[in-house]
Amino acid sequence: MADIHPFRALRYDLQRVPASQVVTQPYDKITPAMQDRYYTASPYNLVRIILGRRDPGDNATSNVYTRAAAHARDWRNAGILRQDASPSIYTYSQTFTAASGTSFERRGFIALGRVEDYSAKVVFRHEQTLSKPKADRLDLLRTTRAHYEQLFLLYEDSGKIDSLLATVQPPTIDVADEYGVAHRVWQICDPEVIASVQSEMRDKKLVIADGHHRYETALNFRNECREAAGASSNPQAPHEFVMMTFVNMNDPGLLVLPTHRVVHSLESFSADDFQNSSRAFFAVEEIDPALDAARAAAVLLERGRVGTALLAVTANRAFVLHSPKPAAAQFLAGLSPRQQALDVVQLHKCLLEGVLKLSEESIRNQQNLSYLREASEALTQVRSGAANMAFLMNPCPVEQVRDVAFAGEVMPQKSTDFYPKLLSGLTAYALD
| DSSP letters for 199-248 | HHHTT--EEEEE-HHHHHHHHHHHHHHHHHHGGG--TTSGGGEEEEEEEE
Contact 246, 254 (CB under 8 A): no
Number of domains the chain contains: 2
Residues 32 and 147 in one domain: yes
Domain assignment of residue 263, yes or no: yes
Same domain, 286 and 379: yes
- Whole-prediction pTM value? 0.92
- Asked whether residue 112 falls in the same domain as residue 174, the answer is yes
User: What is the extent of the structural domain holding 297?
Assistant: 259-394
pLDDT of 231: 86
Q: What is the pLDDT of residue 129?
A: 83
pLDDT below 50 — which residues of the chain?
A: none
Residue 219: predicted pLDDT = 97
Q: Is the peptide bond before 26 cis (omega within 30 degrees of 0)?
A: no
Same domain, 250 and 263: no
The DSSP symbol for 167 reads: -
> Based on the domain organization, do 51 and 121 belong to the same domain?
yes
- Residue-wise pLDDT for 359-416, tens only, equals 988 998 889 999 998 999 999 999 999 999 999 999 999 999 999 999 999 998 888 9
Let me know if residue 14 belongs to a domain. yes
Are 217 and 294 members of one domain?
no
- In this prediction, residue 99 carries a pLDDT of 80
For residue 428, the 8-state DSSP code is B
DSSP code for 104: E
pLDDT tens-digit map of 180-196:
999 999 999 999 999 99
Distance CA 107, CA 246 (A): 9
Residue 101 confidence (pLDDT)? 87
pLDDT for the residue 4: 97
Q: State the pLDDT at residue 412.
A: 87
Same domain, 49 and 88: yes
Write the CA distances from 160 to 152, 166, 193, 202, 399, integer angstroms. Answer: 19, 10, 12, 13, 20
283-286: strand order across its sheet:
283-286, 318-322, 309-313, 389-393, 260-263, 369-372
In a domain, 240, yes or no: yes
Same domain, 92 and 171: yes
Instruction: Kindly give the pairing relationship between strand 389-393 and strand 417-419.
Output: unpaired
Whether 414 is covered by a domain: the verdict is: no
Q: Is 287 exposed, middle or buried (0-12, 13-18, 19+ CB in 10 A)?
A: middle
Confidence at residue 100, expressed as pLDDT on a 0 to 100 scale? 80
CATH number at residue 352: 3.30.1760
pLDDT of residue 1: 84
pLDDT score at 364? 85
- Of 289, 266, 294, nearest to 351 by C-alpha is 266
How is residue 148 annotated by DSSP? -
